[in-house]
Amino acid sequence: MDIRREDGVALMVAMMAMLLMTALGVALVLTTSSETIIAGNYRNSGEAMYAADAVLERAIDDLLTVPDWNSLLTGSVQSAFIDGAPSGARTLPDGSTLDLTQALSMANCQKVTTCSSTDMDAITTERPWGPNNPRWQLYAYGKMSDLMPTGSVDSSYYVVVMVADDPSENDGNPLQDGMSQANPGTGVMAMRAEAFGPRGAHKVVEMTVARTDTTELERGYTGQRGQDEQNRRARKAAVQTPGKALTMQTLDLNLGGIH
């Protein structure tokens, strides 16, 4: 037997080259797929934030027409932007399901089951005010595509706005606001908007609004959170920036306010 024979070497080289090219091709496909997913998640996160901000502005328009904000804290008054009863399941465009009752419970006590008064008064990192913790009520909710009566909004997101007494009042009564019909020039309200979209996209934006002696509202953003937790802002004073005409508002992501 001649050990110097090279029969089959070409086949072995060809197979090794094929394996190498296959590995490179798989790596390229995985890299491309990952980049596509990352870009899609980034787009969904940004769209969710803007959807939450948009529905807040829509809800504020309705809030201006409510003479007594105490009726908001009991859930007896709601925005005109609703799609039915303030409970139950909603089917999103991607086929997933959102339960409004569970979403409300998550906001009030970070669990999907019904919250007790003890649950809502518990001091946590998210809700450190104890008896003054917001007791959120559903105020506006519906498909983002239905936000404008002209149907000009093309969005696959479902948006929710909740309202509650501002915890900075420290009066120990989260169901009673400082503003009433007898004293319409005072009062601060907390608002929370959530946007739910495809591939689990979810964004929360919180802000406070204060009634003034005009037809305007003062408002300030208190925080946002969602898929990109690193963008979360710390809760600050009840009202951070003065309000201006509702037709002259732009969102400043760096300063966290409305100008």
181 falls within a domain: yes
pTM (2 d.p.): 0.70
Window from 45-49, 189-193, 231-235 with minimum mean pLDDT: 231-235
251 falls within a domain: yes
Is the pLDDT at 82 greater than 90? The verdict is yes
How many C-beta atoms surround the C-beta of residue 69 within 10 A? 24
Predicted confidence (pLDDT) per residue in 91-147, tens digit: 888 888 999 999 999 999 999 999 999 999 999 988 999 999 999 999 999 999 888
3 falls within a domain: no
2 falls within a domain: no
Window from 57-66, 94-103, 190-199, 242-251 with minimum mean pLDDT: 242-251
Is the pLDDT at 27 greater than 80? The verdict is no
Between 134 and 218, whose confidence is greater? 134
Domain containing residue 43: 9-258
Give the integer Cα–Cα distance in Å for 18 and 26: 12
Between 174 and 211, whose confidence is greater? 174
4 falls within a domain: no
Between 106 and 243, whose confidence is greater? 106
Q: Look at residue 245 in the predicted model and tell me its pLDDT.
A: 32
Q: Look at residue 65 in the predicted model and tell me its pLDDT.
A: 84
Between 12 and 80, whose confidence is greater? 80
Is the pLDDT at 75 greater than 80? The verdict is yes
Average pLDDT over residues 222-251: 37
166 falls within a domain: yes
254 falls within a domain: yes
Between 28 and 56, whose confidence is greater? 56
Mean pLDDT taken over the chain: 76
79 falls within a domain: yes
pLDDT band at 7; cut points 50, 70, 90:
low
Is the pLDDT at 192 greater than 90? The verdict is yes
> Number of structural domains, the chain?
1
